[in-house]
């Protein structure tokens, strides 16, 4: 126990020598429905509080330290009747992600996003409601719909790269956020050019940025623990949400008043009917909009930030991909670099599933109602899948077939990220444009600390870079 604590406190996983192995255990792959589960002993409130805080603040260190002792680990946290199980074994992941939804379902209705986006978004809904919401939104995120956003992404990337200040340190996440917010506002509200946005839409955009910047305040993890047992936001989270809520409802009312229809997501939501013929309520539309706005841009902007955080610390790879892109914009190395960034710094490091019957996970059997956390971060660092996993090596993905359930930055199964195609299009275009048009000063400082914000793992300084020259 003491040696585990010591290793967690003295060593952070992201500072591990790139030549080292992860030492993660490759254990018993058995997984699936089981007859009975043993009831586990309960720890006191103080221990559960400590574990919850550790999970929020130092999740990576905690999981890496655990994973070197056992492959499947169980933890007791605040607000859960049963322990949560953590695994990174591809066979366990396959069983959890491909099971019948009656046996294993998403755990997002109990996750830290639930008090923020509410119960009625495609992310937090479960069962039939989730299926309907997903079917409703799916066409908006298909390849053909995304091709339509290509020029919007290019326009926005060019505009924001042109306003980049030379020789000034700036977080790439901020530039990424300006671009990805433009794109998601286009997808949701059909805003062709941001100058055409209404006052209510502009206010909503402003409030989204404010809300996200407040969620990195030092007090935020505590607010997350206090909200862990609640369905609705309470305390500080409720206070911080209020102006954002006001802005979302103002946009909904404006659109209802104007009766404007188009091919954007807002029009789809306003026209949608349930099986009984009722239209969606303002609150249901509010939940959906917040979920899409938040999930739909800060994940992509911080993945861009991690990509350049990694590249600027690996000068050889940086210059190699920059030369390749400048010679031929669609070089396969570009995609390999993006994949390697998502492997080594997965923006969403865990996804949760709740088992609705006893479920075998390796040597353990989880009780009905338990949550199994799939650690994407650990999966992406397993020695048998990714030799020397702490090294940044895009070649791992160059012209290689990726076996199923071994690389899952977008999760999987019936809850796989709805925006994955849009996100990949944005990552490809924006990374390419930055490589092509900007010379970034490389950094010789150690890598940025991963910081946990709600369900995401972002670079603590936003991926700070300095532009040397804009072409
Ligand atoms: C690099 C960027 C992104 C990453 C890494 C990412 C990652 C993820 C992950 C891991 C999940 C959970 C999947 C699971 O539980 O198996 C998810 C769900 C989701 N994401 Fe993304 N995402 C990104 C961008 C986007 C974008 C651009 C949108 C657009 C709106 C989006 C919308 C969603 C939605 C709606 C869900 C819930 C799907 C469901 O439960 O049916 N994401 N995302």
Percent of the chain with pLDDT over 90: 67
CA-CA distances (angstroms) from residue 430 to 418, 439, 442, 471?
Answer: 20, 14, 19, 15
Contact 368, 430 (CB under 8 A): no
Contacting residues for 259 by C-beta, under 8 A, at least 6 apart: none
CA of residue 468 to ligand 1 center, whole Å: 34
Res 10: pLDDT = 55
Q: Which of 48-52, 136-140, 168-172 has the lowest mean pLDDT?
A: 48-52
pLDDT at 1 over 50: no
> Taking Cα atoms as reference points, which of 118, 106, 108, 109 lies closest to residue 290?
118
363-412 pLDDT, tens per residue?
999 999 999 999 999 999 999 999 999 999 999 999 899 999 999 999 99
Pairing of strands 371-375, 84-87: parallel
226-271 pLDDT, tens per residue?
666 666 766 677 788 999 999 999 999 999 998 767 778 999 999 9
The pLDDT confidence band at residue 224, using thresholds 50, 70 and 90, is low
CA-CA distances (angstroms) from residue 115 to 124, 220, 225, 258, 452?
Answer: 10, 14, 12, 30, 17
Please tell me if the CB atom of residue 423 comes closer than 6 angstroms to any atom of ligand 1: yes
The pLDDT confidence band at residue 222, using thresholds 50, 70 and 90, is low
* pLDDT, mean of residues 327-340: 90
* pLDDT, mean of residues 129-137: 93
Range among 205-219, 261-275, 316-330 with highest mean pLDDT value: 316-330
Res 226: pLDDT = 63
Res 309: pLDDT = 96
Contact 173, 305 (CB under 8 A): yes
* pLDDT, mean of residues 456-466: 94
Distance of CA 463 to the CA centre of its chain: 16
* pLDDT, mean of residues 43-58: 83
Contacting residues for 408 by C-beta, under 8 A, at least 6 apart: 93, 374, 376, 379
Minimal-distance CA residue to ligand 1 atom 36? 417
Contact 200, 32 (CB under 8 A): no
Res 80: pLDDT = 79
Contact 114, 125 (CB under 8 A): no
d(CA 421, CA 146): 7
189 phi and psi angles, rounded to 5 deg: -105, 0
Please tell me if the CB atom of residue 93 comes closer than 6 angstroms to any atom of ligand 1: no
Residue to substitute in 105, 416, 419 for testing ligand 1 pocket (most ligand atoms within 8 angstroms of CB) = 419
Please tell me if the CB atom of residue 347 comes closer than 6 angstroms to any atom of ligand 1: yes
Average pLDDT of every residue of the chain: 89
CA of residue 168 to ligand 1 center, whole Å: 32
pLDDT at 48 over 50: yes
CA-CA distances (angstroms) from residue 412 to 96, 210, 359, 373, 458?
Answer: 10, 31, 18, 13, 21
Q: Which of 287-296, 348-357, 412-421, 441-450 has the lowest mean pLDDT?
A: 441-450
Q: Which of 7-21, 43-57, 171-185, 213-227 has the lowest mean pLDDT?
A: 213-227
Contact 365, 357 (CB under 8 A): no
Percent of the chain with pLDDT over 70: 92
In terms of pLDDT, which residue wins out, 469 or 14? 14
Please tell me if the CB atom of residue 296 comes closer than 6 angstroms to any atom of ligand 1: yes
Res 225: pLDDT = 61
Domains, the chain, with CATH or none: 1-471 (1.10.630.10)
Please tell me if the CB atom of residue 419 comes closer than 6 angstroms to any atom of ligand 1: yes
CA of residue 75 to ligand 1 center, whole Å: 25
Q: Which of 38-47, 399-408, 413-422 has the lowest mean pLDDT?
A: 38-47
CA-CA distances (angstroms) from residue 353 to 87, 95, 110, 329?
Answer: 11, 11, 10, 39
* pLDDT, mean of residues 265-291: 90
The pLDDT confidence band at residue 276, using thresholds 50, 70 and 90, is confident
Please tell me if the CB atom of residue 181 comes closer than 6 angstroms to any atom of ligand 1: no
Please state the atom number of ligand 1 nearest to the C-alpha of residue 413: 16
Contact 85, 373 (CB under 8 A): yes
Q: Which of 1-5, 114-118, 244-248 has the lowest mean pLDDT?
A: 1-5
Please tell me if the CB atom of residue 351 comes closer than 6 angstroms to any atom of ligand 1: yes
In terms of pLDDT, which residue wins out, 328 or 201? 201
Range among 78-87, 182-191, 233-242, 339-348 with highest mean pLDDT value: 339-348
Distance of CA 91 to the CA centre of its chain: 22
CA of residue 292 to ligand 1 center, whole Å: 9
3-state secondary structure the chain: CHHHHHHHHHCCHHHCCCCCCCCCCCCCCCEEECCCCCCCCCCCHHHHHHHHHHHHHCHHHHHHHHHCCCCCEEECCCCCCCCEEEECCHHHHHHHHHCCCCCEEECHHHCCCHHHHCCCCCCCCCHHHHHHHHHHHHHHHCHHHHHHHHHHHHHHHHHHHHCCCECCEEEHHHHHHHHHHHHHHHHHHCCCCHHHCCHHHHHHHHHHHHHHHHCCCCCHHHHHHHCCCCCCCCHHHHHHHHHHHHHHHHHHHHHHHHCCCCCCHHHHHHHCECCCCCECCHHHHHHHHHHHHHHCCHHHHHHHHHHHHHHCCCHHHHHHHHHHHHHCCCCHHHHHHHHHHHHHCCCCCEEEEEECCCEEECCEEECCCCEEEEEHHHHCCCCCCCCCCCCCCHHHHCCCCCCCCCCCCCCCHHHCCCCHHHHHHHHHHHHHHHHHHEEEECCCCCCCCEEEECCEEEECCCCEEEEEEEC
Minimal-distance CA residue to ligand 1 atom 16? 411
Res 338: pLDDT = 98
What residue has token string 């969620």?
215
What residue has token string 């060593």?
11
């Amino acid at each position: 126990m003491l040696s585990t604590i010591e290793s967690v406190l003295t060593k952070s996983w992201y500072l591990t020598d790139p030549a080292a192995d992860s030492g993660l255990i490759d254990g018993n792959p058995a997984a699936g429905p089981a007859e009975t589960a043993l009831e586990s002993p309960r720890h006191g409130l103080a221990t559960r509080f400590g574990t919850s805080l550790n999970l929020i603040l130092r999740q990576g260190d905690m999981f890496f330290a655990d994973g070197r002792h056992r492959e499947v680990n169980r933890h007791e946290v605040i607000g859960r009747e049963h322990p949560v199980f953590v695994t990174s074994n591809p066979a366990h992941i396959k069983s959890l992600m491909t099971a019948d939804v009656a046996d294993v379902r998403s755990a997002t209705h109990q996750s830290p996003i639930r008090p923020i986006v509410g119960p009625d978004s495609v992310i937090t809904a479960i069962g039939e409601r989730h299926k309907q919401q997903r079917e409703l939104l799916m066409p908006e995120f298909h390849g053909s719909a995304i091709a339509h956003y290509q020029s919007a992404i290019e326009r926005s990337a060019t505009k924001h790269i042109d306003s980049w200040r030379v020789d000034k340190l700036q977080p790439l996440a901020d530039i990424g956020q300006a671009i990805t917010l433009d794109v998601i506002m286009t997808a949701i509200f059909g805003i062709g050019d941001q100058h055409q946005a209404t006052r209510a839409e502009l206010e909503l955009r402003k409030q989204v940025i404010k809300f996200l910047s407040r969620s990195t305040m030092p007090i935020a993890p505590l607010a997350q623990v206090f909200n862990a047992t609640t369905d609705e936001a309470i305390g500080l989270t409720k206070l911080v949400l209020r102006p954002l809520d006001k802005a979302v409802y103002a946009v909904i009312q404006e659109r209802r008043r104007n009766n404007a229809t188009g091919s954007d997501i807002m029009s789809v939501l306003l026209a949608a009917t349930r099986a009984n013929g009722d239209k969606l309520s303002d609150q249901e539309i509010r939940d959906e909009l917040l979920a899409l706005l938040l999930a739909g841009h800060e994940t992509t902007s911080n993945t861009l930030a991690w990509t350049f955080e990694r590249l600027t610390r690996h000068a050889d790879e940086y210059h190699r991909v920059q030369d390749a892109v400048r010679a031929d914009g669609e070089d396969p190395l570009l995609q390999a670099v993006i994949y390697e960034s998502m492997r080594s710094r997965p923006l969403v490091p865990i996804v949760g599933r709740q088992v609705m019957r006893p479920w075998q996970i390796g040597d353990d059997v989880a009780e009905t109602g338990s949550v199994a956390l799939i650690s994407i971060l650990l999966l992406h660092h397993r020695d048998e899948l990714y030799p020397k996993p702490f090294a940044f090596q895009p070649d791992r993905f160059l012209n290689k077939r990726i076996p199923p359930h071994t690389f899952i930055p977008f999760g999987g199964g019936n809850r796989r990220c709805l925006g994955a195609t849009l996100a990949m299009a944005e990552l490809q275009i924006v990374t390419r444009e930055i490589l092509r048009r900007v010379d970034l000063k490389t950094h010789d400082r150690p890598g940025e600390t991963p910081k946990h914000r709600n369900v995401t793992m972002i670079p603590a300084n936003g991926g700070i870079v300095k532009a040397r020259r804009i072409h």
